[in-house]
Amino acid sequence: MTQTKATLISVDEAKALLKDQSDQINERFPRLKKQGKYILPDYRLTRKREAFKIRKHTFLQRHARSYVAFDSENGQTLWMHNFPSLTEALFWLDTGLKPTDTDTNTSYKSWKEMHEDDITALKDILKERSKKRKEALAAKKAATMPKKKPAAVNKSSVAKKKKAN
């Protein structure tokens, strides 16, 4: 990754970012612990408002092929957005624009062509993570699953079958 500064994070790190932001919501000048640009794969942000409550609660919900982009480079504000593709999330983190924005001098297509190497590098990292996770789950499943033993034949059940014939 040469030009984009975004890094992939885990769910625990994303929850820590959200917790840090909610802890400092009433501070006049908040100072976030982690600063930078992050992407959380396979999740999306959901918000829940309860009746007669003023605050919105933000949750992370598992959602395949969805990405949450976090931007906290200024150290005071945590900006978050859901994206359907990794490329769109990187574009937003890099430029601050969404692909549908038309009033700019840089277009999404030209940015995508310029950063093709970075995008493929992040996609390769995601594929490796997914492969490792699947292998670990398969190994765990194989370890917990009992091996099948051949069925033992009881002498009494064989004797009962012979008497019935």
In sequence order, which residues have a C-beta less than 8 Å from that of residue 122 and are 6 or more positions away? Answer: 1, 4, 6, 8, 39, 86, 90
Is residue 2 situated within a structural domain?
no
Name the token pair of 119: 């995008």
* 3-state SS, residue 62: strand
Q: Give the domain range for residue 50.
A: 7-140
How many domains does the chain contain in total? 1
In a domain, 11, yes or no: yes
Instruction: Give the H or E element holding residue 77.
Output: none
Residues in the chain predicted with pLDDT less than 70, given as ranges, are 1-3, 50-56, 147-165
Residue 150 lies in a domain: no
Whether 1 is in a domain gets the answer no
Cβ-count burial of 101 within 10 angstroms (0-12 exposed, 13-18 middle, 19+ buried)?
middle
Q: How far is residue 24's CA from residue 72's CA, in Å, rounded to a whole number?
A: 14
> Is the residue at 164 inside a domain?
no
Establish if 160 belongs to a structural domain. Answer: no
Distance CA 136, CA 119 (A): 26
Return the pLDDT at 164: 66
Q: Of 123, 11, 18, 133, whose CA–CA distance to 61 is shortest?
A: 11
In this prediction, residue 40 carries a pLDDT of 93
- Reported pTM: 0.73
Does 130 reside within a domain?
yes
Residue 100 lies in a domain: yes
